[in-house]
Amino acid sequence: MMLALAAPALAEGYKIGVLHAERILQQSQAAKAAHDRIEREFKPRDDALTKKEAALQAAQAQYEKQRQALSADERASRERNLDLQARDLARQRQQFNEDLRARQFEELDKLKGKLDKVLTAYAKAQNFDLILQDALWVGKSVDITDDVIKALDASTSGAGSPGAAGSTPAK
């Protein structure tokens, strides 16, 4: 019984902060810039695939209109051709999605690397003993997410030091 009462008293001497990683990934300028880079890089390819998909749908609709007037050989030939185009387009779309996911993971890894450096500098500058990520419930006095976003944004833009941003959460 005495041990249970002593532990919280001991914890009061520690400075603890909690951050919400998902908010950082959604709200930081670094995350938004990464999203914009990926968008610029993949939009032309996505647009090209979308045009090909629309052209294939139009060709399929045209075939359905003309189907009754075609000979059996012509129908079989056009069906094979449309089927080949559809499979090729599905393969291209799948490759696009895989490339997009790989690029997103690459950008996420870069962002996490920056975040680790910023968070370490912030924790040292603000004298934190422990920083937790994504707790079930977090009081405002220990939530450092906004300060970490500011520090990450400052480090990305080159303005200010990562440890100097924002207020200091309570002990």
- From the list 166, 165, 163, the residue with the least C-alpha distance to 125 is 163
For the residues of 49-70, what is the DSSP string, one character each?
HHHHHHHHHHHHHHHHHHGGGS
> Any idea what DSSP says for residue 166?
S
For 137-149, give one letter per residue: b (16+ CB within 10 A) or e: ebeeebbbbbbbb
* Domains of the chain, residue spans: 13-164
* Domain 13-164: top CATH class: alpha beta
Question: For the segment 36-56, what is each residue's pLDDT rounded down to a tens digit?
Answer: 999 999 999 999 999 999 999
**Is the pLDDT confidence value at 170 over 80?**
no
What's the pLDDT tens digit per position in 86-130? Answer: 999 999 999 999 999 999 999 999 999 999 999 999 999 999 999
pTM of the model: 0.72
